[in-house]
Amino acid sequence: MTSQEIKALTDQYIMHTYGRFPVAVDHGEGATLYDPEGNAYVDFASGIGVSCLGYGCQPWAEAIAKQAGKVGHTSNLFYTEPPARLAETLCKRTGMSCAFFANGGGEANEGMIKLARKYSFDKYGQGRATIVTLNNSFHGRTITTLTATGQEVFHNYFFPFTEGFRYADANDLASLEAAAGDDVCAVMVELVQGEGGVLPLDQDYVHAVAKLCAERDWLLLVDEVQTGVGRTGSLFAFQQYGILPDVVSFAKGIAGGLPMSGILANERCRDVLGPGTHATTFGANPVCAAAGLVVQETLSDAFLKDVQNKGTYLRGQIEALDLPCFGATRGLGLMIGIAVQDGFTNKEIAGKLIANGLLVLTAGPGMRLLPPLVISKEEMDKGVAIMKETLG
């Protein structure tokens, strides 16, 4: 099918919930995608931070094909090897104790919220179920995770929303103390707010939050759906912040492009969700887990160090362009935000770059770049050259 045919068929038969750019993708190689007509696009987006190994990665495709040829799904009523091995790897590399696998970021966060409420219920009974989240956060699209999301624009249409969330300003301990109370069971944060605009939390603030959580027996829940799996230059961002969360969620990059998510609980939270309290039919899918194992094998310590170097290089190259529409860059590793100057809009900039062969994302009022972690220097340079031609 041609791009036009794919677009027409999609518009006819798929619900119009997405604002799409007018590009159809057919295949890819490395960090470059191609449309059905053969036009190339340098990818600084990774399908929203998912395709961490890029495209055409043979070990990934082979692991998927091999597992699919053995068994594609069993449910969690039986045992399979790949998710057990993936959970072992994740725990050994992070110091966490055990995993629960789900299918998407919002669903993983639902599990994290359920765990926090049950931890508190088991210990203190009812009436201590409130979770404090941060303004400008993003935690998902289910009714409960929309409520957890600290942005008023998301609290619309779908009333009634789930009770038991309050919001505090990021990097402001006084605001957190003001939102606190006897009814609180947990604090939930993204260490780098992703959708909100690529806004990293301060190290000091995160340490102070962790201390407060420990003092009040609040669980510290870290949403690493976007920051996890090497994106920031460590396997999880919390490892760079020097904290150990009670529960951490992950999704986007975990299986390099197949739908998978989950949570990791630390030792004191490992038995909170017992038999019958939480489940999902598709969770811990062995094909997705086999893909996840290839991601883990690729993300060696040396590879993660290189992610940090690539992030530093790409930010430096973009800042050196000194484009009229861009302000300063920020972020961690290959999670990069760019401020957009007054008089320009991020949507318009994204549209122009995409039309000229560079896929980018927006976040808050700024630009967001989440290239495949395997991106080469040549591909980064090509993307930066497209920025220069398009926006210079």
Binding stretches for ligand PLP (CB under 6 A): 104-106, 109, 138-141, 190, 194-195, 223, 225-226, 251
Question: C-alpha dihedral over 374, 378, 380, 385, to 10 degrees?
Answer: -160
Beta bridge partners of 265: 98, 247
* Minimum CB–partner distance for residue 68 and ligand PLP (Å): 22
* Minimum CB–partner distance for residue 377 and ligand PLP (Å): 27
* Minimum CB–partner distance for residue 194 and ligand PLP (Å): 4
Q: Which is nearer to ligand PLP, 195 or 246 (CB)?
A: 195
* Minimum CB–partner distance for residue 251 and ligand PLP (Å): 5
Q: Which is nearer to ligand PLP, 14 or 320 (CB)?
A: 14
CB 235 within 8 A of CB 229: yes
CB 37 within 8 A of CB 247: no
Give the burial class of 157: count Cβ atoms within 10 A of its Cβ; 0-12 exposed, 13-18 middle, 19 or more buried.
exposed
Helix H segments across 159-300?
173-179, 203-216, 238-241, 286-298
CB 46 within 8 A of CB 334: no
* Minimum CB–partner distance for residue 163 and ligand PLP (Å): 20
Q: Which is nearer to ligand PLP, 257 or 357 (CB)?
A: 257
* Minimum CB–partner distance for residue 43 and ligand PLP (Å): 17
Q: Which is nearer to ligand PLP, 112 or 210 (CB)?
A: 112
Give the residue at shortest CB distance from ligand PLP.
105
Q: Which is nearer to ligand PLP, 58 or 156 (CB)?
A: 156
What is d(CA 332, CA 226) in angstroms, rounded to the nearest whole number? 12
Q: Which is nearer to ligand PLP, 187 or 225 (CB)?
A: 225
CB 230 within 8 A of CB 374: no
Helix H segments across 171-300?
173-179, 203-216, 238-241, 286-298
